[in-house]
Structure 1
């Protein structure tokens, strides 16, 4: 029989990661993961082993060109090996990170749609019946929001079509430096698109930078949120920069309680900003350990376990 993507998926069925992602919604648990966006300098297997050894219950894989898991270059053998590796290390896979600015010309939009389809295929190749969400920022500038929001709705409609065909959930993230930068606008945007496959990623650091209230931003966004990033903000020479979670002033026990009480059923994943890993002397292993040591106590303070696995079926399109 000729090799097809369908036969490839069938060949992986026996090694399904489904058991890693099943957990009772009633349990007081939120999975705690680390994004390999902050481990680009390490070989993939070393990065995965490190996250497992530290105690993280899952990872987010970075798909952008030049990172570990660009789906355009990850062949079927590499995908099978990666899936097995995740299973062997008992690491869940809550998300895949892409970076697809949406305010682009038609040629780039077609390229973006191709990238989304590749990401969705990888999500199923690695996650089987419980594919990770695909999370991305959307680009643009804050001052452009009123002018471009209609175009964003139209272009996200194209994304939603691909997501529905591939049965993969896309989580868009508001960014302090992007056109989409506010909680209410985030909800408005996906409400206008009206697809169960387009949801939100929540990252309070971008709202903290704007002086917004944590509880209010969570109240607005959590009903449509399927993925959470965490990082901090610090003052460096009179300028605000992103920092490792726990190095700033974010109240993580409060944040985790808001997630718990708001019915959030996804993972909380550390994102190391390029403002951190781009500095000379950055050590990804030390950063991952520091984040775990600083945030793990917040889970206990919030009355949560951080070592549960994830059920992606909750509040996504799946």
Structure 2
């Protein structure tokens, strides 16, 4: 099995033609009941969730100059790209700068707590539609997926798991209509916190537009191994976040990659062996970027230096 190594920067046309090196594993949306396989190479990226204080165009330029090849764009309420306030001119500018810097837009991040009353549920459906539309506006030839956590509390799982299935079924239908993937993530502090719970929900919904976002830090805090967390999600995951963590459920903190004990060389190897071909994106936790003195550019550089290469070719640093 070919191990991950970081590819040299590619423009959008180049990476679409370079996919013969990889097994088909990422699903690009087109007008069909289910998205067909499209060959794709994995890139290393940085989530702009960790760069809220920077203008979007500066954030893109900095990510590209450091060596990242893709980004995740948060559209949460109050953020620079909030779907409720993101103007047509700003969208056009973002798309132009992403193309100029040869950065793939891998994902759009929102934070959509699934539980709540019917009004909240309808509001979430509206935000999903807006995020899916934005995906097509910003990258029409290769729309990014939409990624979110789901909220709730760990002790609630048995009580709310059927509601997760029911509401995610509606969410998935919105995304199927828009032809954009939705990737949901298990979170250490949420009702859905374990890989088998996430796999069960996806299996129950049975909609190919609903997929898994994988973040080992949440499982590492539960003393789960990489192998036992990747295996149940291998056929379902379309997006990966990376960060470090220390502590245990109820008393933990997230860290930058390299500050904890996560073996990323092993993680990337196991993801490759499992057939994963999506992007791998650094996520800086709010626990980190909310600290006094946090420097988003310095953090992005530190993360890049701490991670092994991914892709088909070793890129110079």
Contact 1:21 1:92 in 2 (8 A): no
Q: Which residue does the alignment assign to 2:221?
A: 209
* Deviation of 1:21 (Å): 4.9
Q: Which residue does the alignment assign to 1:144?
A: 156
- TM-score, length-scaled by structure 2: 0.86
Matched ranges for 1:72-87 at <5 A: 72-87=84-99
Q: Which residue does the alignment assign to 2:146?
A: 134
Q: 1:25 to 1:175 in 2, by over 3 A?
A: farther
Q: Which residue does the alignment assign to 1:276?
A: 288
Q: Which residue does the alignment assign to 1:313?
A: none
Q: 2:180 aligns with which of 168, 176, 193?
A: 168
Matched ranges for 1:248-263 at <5 A: 248-263=260-275
Q: Which residue does the alignment assign to 1:24?
A: 19
Q: 1:63 to 1:91 in 2, by over 3 A?
A: same
Q: Please state if 1:185 is matched with 2:197.
A: yes
Contact 1:21 1:130 in 2 (8 A): no
Number of positions where the alignment pairs a residue of Structure 1 with one of Structure 2: 286
* Deviation of 1:305 (Å): 3.9
Q: Which residue does the alignment assign to 2:66?
A: 54
Q: 1:98 to 1:265 in 2, by over 3 A?
A: same
Q: Which residue does the alignment assign to 1:245?
A: 257
* Deviation of 1:115 (Å): 0.3
Deviations 1:140-189 (A, max 9, x none): 01111111000111101110121111111100000000011011111100
Q: Which residue does the alignment assign to 2:7?
A: none
- Partner of 1:172: helix, strand, or coil? strand
Distance 1:63 1:279 in 2: 21
Q: Which residue does the alignment assign to 1:71?
A: 83
Contact 1:230 1:270 in 2 (8 A): yes
- TM-score, length-scaled by structure 1: 0.86
* Deviation of 1:18 (Å): 4.8
Q: 1:299 aligns with which of 302, 309, 312?
A: 309
User: Gapped runs of 5+ residues in structure 2?
Assistant: 1-10, 24-40
Distance 1:306 1:201 in 2: 26
Distance 1:278 1:25 in 2: 42
Contact 1:20 1:91 in 2 (8 A): no
* Deviation of 1:48 (Å): 0.7
Q: Please state if 1:232 is matched with 2:244.
A: yes
Q: 1:84 to 1:234 in 2, by over 3 A?
A: same
Q: 1:265 aligns with which of 266, 277, 302?
A: 277
- Partner of 1:250: helix, strand, or coil? coil
Comparing 24-33 with 101-110, which one deviates more in the overlay?
Answer: 24-33
- Partner of 2:21: helix, strand, or coil? coil
Q: Please state if 1:111 is matched with 2:123.
A: yes
* Deviation of 1:66 (Å): 1.6
